[in-house]
A = this chain, B = another copy of it.
Amino acid sequence: MIVDNALYRKGVRVPVDGDGASLGDARVPCASGDFQWIGIHDPTPAELKQIATTFGLHPLAVEDAGDSHQRPKVERYGDTLFLVLKTLWYIDEEDAVETGEINLFVGPDFVVTVRHGEGIDLATSRRDLEHRAKVLQHGPMAVMYAICDRVVDEYERVGAALEIDVDEVEESVFSPARSDDSVRIYALKREIAEVRRAVMPLREPMRRFAAGQLEGIDEQTATYFRDVADHLHRVSEVVDNLDTLLSTAFDAHLARISVQQNDDMRKISAGAAIVVVPTMIAGIYGMNFDHMPELHWKYGYGFAWALMIGTALSLVALFKKSGWL
């Protein structure tokens, strides 16, 4: 499905005839310096094939663009650059990170963006960019920059959300309440791995774009990509840091369980002692010897109670003092 299709001349959107045309007729003739940007969402294989024919895209790249389980990468086919970006966004209700995919074909005078799944909306990126004629003037590379910037911004938001999650886990681990944090830690580690799989493969190509080691990227565009690369670097640092923090938190969780078990064991033992010692006393006065003077005392029974309660209370005091209760 075509989401939007426009021609840009000197950084300004030019009205295009037949905006709602079929994919086969989507190509707009470009004068020198112009470029076309067409956005597609969840295309069928047939639609992709039409687009491929219209813009002369390489079959292998088109095959990849039809599959939403690619790893992020940048590949060059002739004078067309093919970019696969993983989009990430955070669903607050589920404390979960969701992933989508954006494919970009960046030619000398066109950009084709193919988006899979929900999540990041390219329409806002396009609108933003259309208000920044100065950036848009740099042609297709400006579009590539705008989309990368948008995607990486979302990465940073995801990173920030995960930081809050890790803070929560941390608090839970060190709170006196007993909680089974291992499920939560595991889930977070899985999500961090997902973020890393989206972020890491992009770092090298962004670095290369930032260094201007790519035909078609002038120095000023390179500066923009340096900004993207820098943000990407920040995300990857945040995520690495969270990962090691979680590992440490997990170890602390283990130590905590052991300490709690120890505390429980001592509490239990103290409790047992308080019952077992009076039982022994009762047992003694339950013996059947002929000559047991205490049994015939007038206050013998009271004495036995006093003894039992007394030892029990002494034990309570003793255990309280030694921290077992």
Contacts and interface: CB of A to CB of B under 8 A. Distances in A.
A88 to B, nearest CB: 16
Contacts of A233: 71
B256 A182 contact: yes
A249 interface: yes
Contacts of A245: 189-190, 193
A282 interface: yes
A190 B167 CA distance: 11
A208 to B, nearest CB: 15
A30 interface: no
A71 B245 CA distance: 18
Interface in A265-283: 265-266, 268-269, 271-273, 275-280, 282-283
A289 B278 CA distance: 16
Given A197-B237, A248-B189, A295-B288, A180 B283 contact: no
Interface of A: 58, 60, 70-71, 73, 75, 77, 170, 174, 178, 180, 182-183, 185-186, 189-190, 193, 197, 223-224, 226-227, 230, 233-234, 237, 241, 244-245, 248-262, 264-266, 268-269, 271-273, 275-280, 282-301, 304, 308, 323
